[in-house]
Amino acid sequence: MMRTTTLNKLDFVIVREQDVVPFRNKVKEEAVKIGMGILNQTKLITAASELVRNLLKYGGGGTVEIESVTNGRENGILLRFSDKGPGIKDIDLAMKDGYSTGKSLGLGLPGTKRLVNEFDIKSAEGEGTTVTIIKWKNG
Ligand SMILES: Nc1ncnc2c1ncn2[C@@H]1O[C@H](COP(=O)(O)OP(=O)(O)OP(=O)(O)O)[C@@H](O)[C@H]1O
Ligand SMILES: [Mg+2]
């Protein structure tokens, strides 16, 4: 993950389905604030929706940090999803198109990676999962 400076930071607690819409609205609000265009906003919000769904479904809920960041040249939105769920045994496998333990499409993680500019996943079995993404304003 690229080094960034944080300009503004918000924490969101996600424990139930009803927490998702306000979270998504806040991501959009922060993207609009930095002047991100509609196409990149849509990519960011789609990625955020997938990751928040995983956080709820597999992680049992958790927190999301929404940050406005800069790398010195460009501004962007960083989202960090953290849960203390069961973790992921094989991250390489989880990142493959079509892999799901939840009888779903298995496109959430690999699709998310393709929609953003930076993608980092850390997970330890029994300890939880942290996924960090960045979408640059013009990325
Ligand atoms: N936060 C998490 N904690 C534990 N396991 C996770 C977490 N996120 C993803 N996984 C595991 O990685 C797998 C792949 O996730 P991915 O989002 O790509 O697919 P999915 O959620 O199963 O299906 P889809 O997102 O297409 O509905 C999941 O089936 C699950 O086993
Ligand atoms: Mg998913």
State pTM to two decimals: 0.97
In this prediction, the residues of the chain whose per-residue pLDDT falls under 70 are none
Q: What kind of architecture, by CATH, is found in domain 6-136?
A: 2-Layer Sandwich (3.30)
Amino acid identity of residue 87, one-letter, is G
Output the CA 7–ligand 2 centroid distance in Å. Answer: 29
pLDDT at 1: 86
Domain ranges of the chain: 6-136
Residue nearest to atom 9 of ligand 1 (CA): 54
pLDDT at 100: 97
Output the CA 72–ligand 2 centroid distance in Å. Answer: 32
pLDDT at 57: 98
Which protein residues touch ligand 1 with a CB less than 6 Å away? 50, 54-55, 58-59, 83, 85-88, 94, 99-102, 104-109, 129
pLDDT at 2: 86
pLDDT at 24: 98
pLDDT at 37: 97
